[in-house]
């Protein structure tokens, strides 16, 4: 079974621009969560989508948004990029539904904002 | 104070040693406990997933959870140079949904 895939793997953007990252979960998984990883703050939860609905949200500004499609693929968008948005963005997929399930991470998208 | 505390290391051990990695936490609602391994420039890889207190063993890895002390551990037996990586503990509560709260990660170096 294929793992979680994320595209693109690397991105360089300029401050003020916007960016869209994509995540394809493991086949059969319906929940996708997004995390930001930085050296200073570690791994922090951004949001979770299940059945095309945002189910949970972390403490990030409204510039960070996401969506999920009917095939469970998810995208996240960051608008008006700031230098501090430079990070590894990770998505994790799980079965979803009621209860708690194991989460499997993709390789991440490394975003550099200049 | 962070919800999950983890010593960032680095922890350096000789090949074949038993490695002990630990995390403490403050939120008594946490019920699900995970250990992930992350190699440089890769995504985290799930090693162990446990629910509530107790031990779980998988090959050379043993996870322990002591909810009364709010303390979790990961033991690695017969450590290998290929185990050199960052080890992240993560926790969640049912009311958190799928949100995971991570420790800072411990850098482990196994010397051959």
Closest CA in chain B for residue A58: B99
Contact B50, B63 (CB under 8 A): yes
In the Cβ-directed half-sphere of A102, how many Cα atoms lie within 13 Å?
Answer: 12
Q: What is the pLDDT of residues A50-103, one digit of tens each?
A: 999 999 999 999 999 999 999 999 999 999 999 999 999 999 999 987 777 899
Q: What is the pLDDT of residues B55-102, one digit of tens each?
A: 999 999 999 999 999 999 999 999 999 999 999 999 999 888 889 999
Of A94, A96, A105, the CB nearest to B44: A105
Q: Which residue of B has its CA nearest to A98?
A: B97
Question: Band of the pLDDT at B53, cuts 50, 70, 90?
Answer: confident
Token pair in block for residue B51: 């629910």
Residues of B in contact with A45 (CB under 8 A): 99-101
Strands, DSSP E only, in chain A?
5-7, 10-13, 19-24, 31-38, 42-50, 53-57, 64-68, 74-78, 87-94, 104-105, 109-113
Output the pLDDT for position B94.
84
Pick from B49, B97, B104: which is nearest to A56 by CB? Answer: B97
């Amino acid at each position: 079974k294929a793992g979680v895939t994320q595209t693109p793997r690397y991105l360089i953007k300029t401050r003020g621009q916007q960016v869209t990252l994509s995540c394809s979960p493991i086949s059969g998984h319906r929940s996708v969560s997004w995390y930001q990883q930085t050296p200073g703050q570690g791994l922090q939860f951004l949001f979770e989508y299940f059945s095309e609905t945002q189910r949970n949200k972390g403490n990030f500004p409204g510039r960070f948004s996401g969506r999920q499609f009917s095939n469970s693929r998810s995208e996240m968008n960051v608008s008006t990029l700031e230098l501090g948005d430079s990070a590894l963005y990770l998505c994790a997929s799980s079965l979803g539904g009621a209860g708690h399930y194991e989460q499997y991470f993709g390789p991440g998208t490394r975003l550099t904002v200049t | 104070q962070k919800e999950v505390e983890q010593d960032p290391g680095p922890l350096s051990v000789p090949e074949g040693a038993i490695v002990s990695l630990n995390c403490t936490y403050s939120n008594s609602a946490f019920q699900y406990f995970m250990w992930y391994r992350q190699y440089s420039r890769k995504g985290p890889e799930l090693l162990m997933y446990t629910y509530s207190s107790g031990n779980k063993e998988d090959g050379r890895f043993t996870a322990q959870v002591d909810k009364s002390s709010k303390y979790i551990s990961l033991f690695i037996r017969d450590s290998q140079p290929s185990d050199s990586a960052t080890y992240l503990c993560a926790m969640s509560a049912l009311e958190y949904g799928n949100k995971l709260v991570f420790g800072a990660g411990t850098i482990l170096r196994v010397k051959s």
